[in-house]
Structure 1
């Protein structure tokens, strides 16, 4: 019989998802090595992968629950202490020449999401890892190859290397090609983002279905400074939205009392503004009333628009997520999504919890090298089977939520549905009704189950609305006949029913029923 030995887990990617995965593995006694393409992510001089600051993230129940289950006392508290509660959306606009801002709370029970700085969250996780004697850091290491049958990986190291948590960073000799090292592992976890090197090499070993899509929009980041009195320029406990039919401008609070703001705009609109940047001010005044000059000065608007990159938004779906017992991909490496539901990071952190819950389920009984591999292979197969439909669901929900944020938030029908579902949730909880947003952001039910529940509720509401409209028309016709008034002509009836069913079809499409 094979003898039992300690497992060596290699995690590629030291962002929030990879760091949490390393914590989970280290807590289970594995020898963990964490490899990162960039330098130490706690160093402010480390350049982000997209060469710009990441838009502030929304931390919600799934991410919080996953960090709680990491069993690291004080970790969650340190993260939550560096967040700002956001109780809902603040919709900005203009009516009859007057500016207005209208709050739309996220949840009828008062639950909220939290604005969190990605770098601060990452620092807390890495600091926690640094306390653990069975964890080693390898920054400035690029994965260049992997053999998932022999469980070997090759990394190219360059620049500053921090290969052991007990050592301080040391400067390596300059080498344009870098130095390649070979690493033996038992288990590899790829959490290295949308352009994952682990996924790339995994595709050579498994028949992976892969779909990549760039949506017809780019994003550009802006910074809203605090007031002269060092206060928030806008109410701090909201996600602020200036919505347009095809685009939107949003602002998320930061701990330093500034706001990280983002312009989402179709590619063609960016091209038009790039060709005639003198029209930028008029574009903002027309579509995002109150931003110029109340929140950002005209000079600052032009400076930031020209100086900050206009970046694409990618959506990735793939399956399977694993190969044998050797490797698995998590987070954006498995299911990159557009940011409009605020679930990208939360889904990635939840990946970690789900993965290790399943690994734990399959690790019962006597453990030796052979059974560990066999059980892990079964667990990874189950992980792919369970997580794929959930990842597809949240990916689709995120795409659809762009429509909601840039347009539907001002729609009477959207508000009616939200009001109805919230009232049923508050006053008739036994019915099990809730808004889709509440199910996604404040619960831990599977994303695929949330999507099914939302569709079921939408179909019921659509049926009730259609029946109500038809009944109202029937009663109106009866009332006219009793008064001996002329009954509407057949042409009118035809047009009315055509309009009714067109509206119902539009709602069905928007609600993805």
Structure 2
């Protein structure tokens, strides 16, 4: 697919070279702009580069929204380049133990039509996007550059060049950069958003949920090849639901699984006290055997203890803010605009979708100006065109971003607890049945709408709530109608009995009076 070109060549500065920033750079470069990408860390393709949270990070789940954004990037080979290093996950595998003590696995497919989400290593995805950028002649990558200031009225920014973490403030050189548009894709603790707040009346809300996470790993089987490398199914996202907490495992290409423990801070405090004791290994093992049966068969207890002690225990944050832009000069995307907890697997996908929607709106306003007779010296300037486009982007995207943030929080309850509920499974089965056998009604599960479609998140919520109301009414009708019918039947029987009884009584009384 060829990307449309903007009417006026611009200089676009992108802060953040993660997946969202890299895709935004591809979109901008394909429109003929001069693009500069500034990243705080060293080259993200270098294995020695330390991630900002000091861990490999939760493996990513790439779904339709992210793939759709890549399809529209103007790089025909991008999708194949990325999906070559993914593993399809067709559903959840729920792990548990029967009352008899026997371990079990129960598969819950994501989609009755067989669609899957794709597990991908964050580093592998980033490398492929950066490789494409590096081959584009109008893109320049700058690593080890920290945004320290921005003037969004005069379109200037300042970056420190940090080659060494031990450098003193006095020895760090600083450069000044001009731009037409700055795109902030620099994560939940965004420097671009921080500096935007000095120029824009931004509403801002952040929430840390009472859950920490820590990473573990199921190693591949030694001496094995192909699918036999995997100790458990590579076709699933594995969940050990603990009702108030959970343990998950996501497959990686090399046969390993990236695993994550999610639990309240109080549980982590208890485990930390266990881990420091001489019998810490046995106590950690007992905890996992109690709440996540079967995990110690996949990860030896000494490895569980060492991972728990060595890997950081990190918080989970949700961020809502508005607006997402300032005038014509700046806009924020991805976690910088709407950080969310990872339980719907939509954080990155929503960020990549941001890119597609932003540039679709920018393209629309460019075409509108090209087709109008506006005086280029007034409202037809590139700056006023961008300002209108960015304002529309903010208005369109905020309801959807806030909707998926809320859905991600709700899905934590589903993953750790609801997957065990017969009512949850009944509703899922009923909605899937309706989608297959009565397709004209347009019924789908909420998960399918979010992960396998491109409807607006806010519309997904509205449709799901409407389906829920219909199901509830149907359920009440299905239960209530027989009860009501029974009540009517009994009432009529009672009426006949009363009428018959009254008639018999009157007949008897008449006979008595006649005899008298």
TM, length-normalised to structure 2: 0.88
Alignment of 1:410-421 (within 5 A): 410-421=420-431
Aligned-residue offset at 1:469: 2.8
Question: Which residue of the partner structure matches residue 150 of structure 2?
Answer: 146
CA distance, structure 2, for counterparts of residue 49 and residue 473 of structure 1: 61
Question: Which residue of the partner structure matches residue 382 of structure 1?
Answer: 392
Q: Indicate whether 1:463 and 2:473 are aligned.
A: yes
Aligned-residue offset at 1:243: 0.3
The unaligned stretches of length 5 or more in structure 1 are: 161-171, 485-513
Q: Indicate whether 1:402 and 2:400 are aligned.
A: no
CA distance, structure 2, for counterparts of residue 482 and residue 276 of structure 1: 69
Q: Which moved more, 1:225-234 or 1:112-121?
A: 225-234
Alignment of 1:430-449 (within 5 A): 430-449=440-459
**8 Å CA contact retained: 2:284, 2:301:** no
Aligned-residue offset at 1:275: 1.6
477 and 295 in structure 1: CA distance in 2 versus 1, 3 angstrom threshold: farther
Question: Which residue of the partner structure matches residue 61 of structure 2?
Answer: 58
**8 Å CA contact retained: 2:13, 2:183:** yes
**8 Å CA contact retained: 2:8, 2:382:** no
Q: 2:271 aligns with which of 270, 273, 293?
A: 273
- Max radius of gyration: which structure? 2
State the aligned residue count: 469
**8 Å CA contact retained: 2:159, 2:174:** yes
**8 Å CA contact retained: 1:5, 1:368:** no
112 and 176 in structure 1: CA distance in 2 versus 1, 3 angstrom threshold: same
CA distance, structure 1, for counterparts of residue 471 and residue 491 of structure 2: 30
TM, length-normalised to structure 1: 0.88
SS in structure 2 of the partner of residue 363 of structure 1: helix
**8 Å CA contact retained: 1:88, 1:105:** yes
Aligned-residue offset at 1:474: 4.7
Q: 2:199 aligns with which of 205, 208, 226?
A: 205
CA distance, structure 1, for counterparts of residue 249 and residue 490 of structure 2: 52
SS in structure 1 of the partner of residue 157 of structure 2: strand
Question: Which residue of the partner structure matches residue 14 of structure 1?
Answer: 17
**8 Å CA contact retained: 1:158, 1:175:** no
Question: Which residue of the partner structure matches residue 364 of structure 2?
Answer: 361
Aligned-residue offset at 1:206: 0.8
CA distance, structure 2, for counterparts of residue 463 and residue 272 of structure 1: 45
CA distance, structure 1, for counterparts of residue 167 and residue 248 of structure 2: 43
Q: Which moved more, 1:221-230 or 1:272-281?
A: 272-281
Question: Which residue of the partner structure matches residue 131 of structure 2?
Answer: 127
The unaligned stretches of length 5 or more in structure 2 are: 1-6, 495-516
SS in structure 1 of the partner of residue 381 of structure 2: helix
User: What is the RMSD computed on CA atoms of the aligned residues?
Assistant: 2.0
Aligned-residue offset at 1:173: 12
Aligned-residue offset at 1:477: 6.5
Aligned-residue offset at 1:229: 3.6
CA distance, structure 1, for counterparts of residue 288 and residue 476 of structure 2: 39
CA distance, structure 2, for counterparts of residue 110 and residue 8 of structure 1: 44
**8 Å CA contact retained: 1:325, 1:374:** yes
SS in structure 1 of the partner of residue 295 of structure 2: coil
